[in-house]
């Protein structure tokens, strides 16, 4: 028996139910926009220009807040923070077509004099150090990574010892490049690529000179100039997913299906074979 002071529950009409769904949907969309605009934005690596640091099929998070806060969908900064450091991997709107996003490594800061001589990077007259290292075949348990030579095991920093396997890597020589601020990262040079003419460029104010880690196969500031600060979208920070996908170069090689290659794993080849499990959560250096 109902209490005398208890009011019966009101039944929601159709309009109220629809309104609540719309309100929830709007809140979810608004939250997603805020997260993508001010916190993290996902980005998929589309080309080989950042190999060996980033592979085609890597899905990464870009920290949108790293260099400042801007009005969503515009180039207007609400608040600017400290700019990129030499060595940061950044995502930006391509200056020649701002509907296209690029990802490269910052090698030159405002006012720097960048020189490319004999294929080597020089900043303000100082040549950046390159230490070569060598691989000797795929790991027997995980074909997504390469085994290093004994000598390279001794000289290579721990964060670079899980060197990824990718098609055509025997065409390149691999290095750890060290900038003047101590930042280290991997790069590669094509074995049979002849360096072009020497190049010199002074980075304008509020701009950055960027290059790909795949130094001889990257369309970067050497060809189209510096990136204005207004075009920066954020700093690449983590890999959250990595999917192997056969690219056109591999198809052109007409590889034997029996060739051991990533992502097939000897110990468990049947579970999600296109996932590079070892790259999950990897910090982008």
Cα separation, 60 vs 35, in Å, equals 15
Question: What are φ and ψ of residue 253, in 5° steps?
Answer: -75, -15
Q: Determine the 3-state secondary structure of 231 from DSSP.
A: helix
Q: Which of 229, 224, 239, 195 is nearest to 50 (CA)?
A: 239
Cα angle 77-81-82, degrees, rounded to a multiple of 5: 130
Nearby residues of 129 by Cβ (< 8 Å), 6 or more positions away: 177, 178
Catalytic residue among 49, 53, 93, 242: 49
Strands 89-93 and 232-242: antiparallel
Cα separation, 181 vs 86, in Å, equals 8
Report how far apart the first and last C-alpha atoms of the chain are (Å, whole number).
Answer: 69
Catalytic residue among 104, 207, 218, 242: 104
Q: Determine the 3-state secondary structure of 9 from DSSP.
A: coil
Residue 258 is a catalytic residue: no
Q: How many residues does the chain have?
A: 285
Residue 85 is a catalytic residue: no
Cα atoms found within 13 Å of the Cα of residue 280, Cβ hemisphere only: 4
Catalytic residues: 49, 104
């Amino acid at each position: 028996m109902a209490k005398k002071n208890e009011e019966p529950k009101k039944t929601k009409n159709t309009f109220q139910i629809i309104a609540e769904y719309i309100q929830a949907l709007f809140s979810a969309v608004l939250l997603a926009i805020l997260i993508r605009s001010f916190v993290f934005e996902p980005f998929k690596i589309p080309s080989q220009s950042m190999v060996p640091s980033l592979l085609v099929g890597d899905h990464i998070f870009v920290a949108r807040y790293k260099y400042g806060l801007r009005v969503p969908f515009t180039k207007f900064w609400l608040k600017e923070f400290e700019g990129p450091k030499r060595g940061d991997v950044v995502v930006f709107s391509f200056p020649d077509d701002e509907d296209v996003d690029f990802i490269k490594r910052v090698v030159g800061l405002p006012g720097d004099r960048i020189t490319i001589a004999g294929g080597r990077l020089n900043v303000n007259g100082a040549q950046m150090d390159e230490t070569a290292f060598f691989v000797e075949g795929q790991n027997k348990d995980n074909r997504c990574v390469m085994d290093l030579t004994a000598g390279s095991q001794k000289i290579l920093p721990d964060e670079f010892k899980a060197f990824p396997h990718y098609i055509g890597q025997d065409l390149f020589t691999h290095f750890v490049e060290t900038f003047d601020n101590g930042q280290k990262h991997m790069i590669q040079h094509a074995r049979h690529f002849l360096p072009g003419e020497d190049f010199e460029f002074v980075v304008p104010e509020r701009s950055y000179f960027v290059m790909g880690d795949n130094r001889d196969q990257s369309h970067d500031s050497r060809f189209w100039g510096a990136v204005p600060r207004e075009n920066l979208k954020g700093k690449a920070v983590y890999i959250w997913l990595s999917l192997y996908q056969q690219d056109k170069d591999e198809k052109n090689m007409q590889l034997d299906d029996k060739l051991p290659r990533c992502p097939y794993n000897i110990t468990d080849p049947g579970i999600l074979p296109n996932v590079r499990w070892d790259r999950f959560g990897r910090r982008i250096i």
